[in-house]
Amino acid sequence: MTLTIAGLTATEVLDSRGRPTLAVTLRLPDGRSVRAGVPSGASTGSREAVELRDGDPRRYAGKGVVNAVGNVNAEIADLLRGREFPDLASVDRALIEADGTDTKARLGANAIVGVSMAAARAFALLADRPLWRYLAPAGVTPRLPVPHFNVVNGGAHAPNRLDFQEFMIAPLGAPDLAEAVRAGAEVYAALRRRLADKGFATGLGDEGGFAPEIDAPEDVLTTLVDAITDAGYTPGHHGVAIALDPAASEFYRDGSYHVAGESLSTGDMIARYEAIVNRFPVWSIEDGLAEGDWDGWVELTARLGGRAQLVGDDLLVTNPAIVAEGIDRKAATAALIKVNQIGTVTETLETMRLCREAGWAQMVSHRSGETEDTFIADLAVGTGCGQLKTGAPARGERVAKYNRLIEIEAGSDLPYGRA
């Protein structure tokens, strides 16, 4: 099976934050077409693949993507149109070689990843397979992932004083995906009621979670445990657990971590996480320390790696070379997986392969700026990683991914749960 690209076009559209991004359409010789929407992050690692933004202050405060769109419509389309590609890796290799930079900065990672995602969909269409089955690596059993619902937003995702960026609920004890989604929606509704009863505003952050004016992360965790109980579930691994993404790089300044008015050393921050894990049903902590604090990550992993999943996001940026370094140094026990963070689907799958072989977990993730595209839901299922986070059970661009998982479950007999 080979892919011949008859046409390739991109359009500047809006993401869920009202900022520009790309939609890429790939047309096959028989007239069929596929489309990919490109996500965009707010809290980004310094070593991520580089989005190409126009920098024109007269349009979208400099955030426009007309140049990235132009690169798809001209140089990339000219490069790929009419050629026969035996597999997705050959498409991605052509894109990487044409860009010629380590960070995909010339053509733009946002342009490249949109084409890569569209090409993956085209191969799935030609093979007459659902996308998740096409993306499944050889020897890997696809599986429906445990959804991680971001129900309280802080940090770069919300205009409040809360330093930790994401508080998630994870229905680890649900018997299947549909029941996990139900648990997420019911706890989310119970949390809204509890916050309102306490006099907090129930406005939403970028990813659909509530954004109350609460300073201390421990106060949020107490409220979450209460909401889980209110909804009729048991807090913990056999019911509904809690996952954190503090995004510590965002509150690390001058060698210290600044949380709720306190200035903490690396050791202090690790001790705080240890106290949190002792007190609350927190099963996973993502980006607990800053991306440059490698020695701290090693200490954190030694201290808590046997009790909680420790996920590297800004630390690892879905980059195979950096993930290999993290594995070698025993810094973290899992990697967050964001396709646009590295820039091609092939490199994303390679990162996930390295994790599997090292015994590391993986959690596929959305970005704060999303589209209605459901690619990551299929990616999580096909790779069998067992974990997906894509925001609250609210807002169309987030719910679309959860609904896609429900559709996959309804049409298959795939297992559910963590790998």
Cα 306 to chain center, whole Å?
24
CB 40 within 8 A of CB 51: yes
For the beta carbon of residue 137, count every other beta carbon within 10 angstroms: 14
CA-based nearest residue to 385, from 355, 340, 343? 355
Q: For 140-149, b where at least 16 C-beta lie within 10 A, e where not — what string?
A: bebbbbbbbb
The identity of residue 368, as a single letter, is S
CB 340 within 8 A of CB 110: yes
Q: Which residues contact 35 (CB under 8 A, 6 or more apart)?
A: 23, 24, 25, 26, 118, 121, 373
Structure tokens at 33: 């077409």
CA-based nearest residue to 48, from 7, 109, 107? 109
Provide φ and ψ at 410, rounded to 5°.
-65, -25
Residue 302: left if φ>0, alpha if ψ -120 to 50, beta else—which one?
Answer: alpha
Binding site feature residues: 157, 165-166, 245, 286, 313, 338, 365-368, 389
Model pLDDT for residues 189-229, shown as the tens digit of each residue: 999 999 999 999 888 888 999 999 998 999 999 999 999 99
Structure tokens at 354: 């390295």
CB 152 within 8 A of CB 222: no
The identity of residue 311, as a single letter, is V
CA-based nearest residue to 110, from 71, 58, 55? 71
* Secondary structure (DSSP) of 5-55: BSEEEEEEEE-TTS-EEEEEEEE-TTS-EEEEEPPB-SS--TTSPPP----
Residue 45 pLDDT: 63
Residue 147 pLDDT: 98
Q: How far is 418 from 405, CA to CA, in rounded Å?
A: 15
Residue 230 pLDDT: 98
CB 320 within 8 A of CB 336: no
Residue 43 pLDDT: 61
Sketch out the chain's domains with CATH numbers: 1-128 (3.30.390.10), 144-409 (3.20.20.120)
Residue 419 pLDDT: 80
What is the block-wise mean pLDDT of the chain (419 residues), using blocks of 10 residues? 96 96 98 97 77 97 98 98 97 98 96 98 98 97 98 81 94 97 98 96 88 93 98 97 96 94 96 98 98 97 97 96 97 97 97 98 96 98 98 96 98 93
CA-based nearest residue to 44, from 315, 346, 351? 315
Binding site feature residues for Mg(2+): 245, 286, 313
Structure tokens at 58: 């007269």
The identity of residue 363, as a single letter, is M
What residues are paired with 365 via a beta bridge? 389
Structure tokens at 193: 């009621």
CA-based nearest residue to 294, from 327, 268, 340? 327
Q: How far is 29 from 411, CA to CA, in rounded Å?
A: 29
Catalytically active residues, by annotation: 207, 338
Owner of token pair 């992050």: 41
What residues are paired with 150 via a beta bridge? 168
Structure tokens at 370: 């999303």
Q: How far is 251 from 258, CA to CA, in rounded Å?
A: 5
Tell me if residue 107 falls in helix, strand or coil: coil
* Secondary structure (DSSP) of 244-307: EE--GGGGEETTEEEETTEEE-HHHHHHHHHHHHHHS-EEEEES-S-TT-HHHHHHHHHHHTTT
* Secondary structure (DSSP) of 114-155: HHHHHHHHHHHHHTT--HHHHHPPTT----BPEEEEEEEE-G
Residue 49: left if φ>0, alpha if ψ -120 to 50, beta else—which one?
Answer: beta
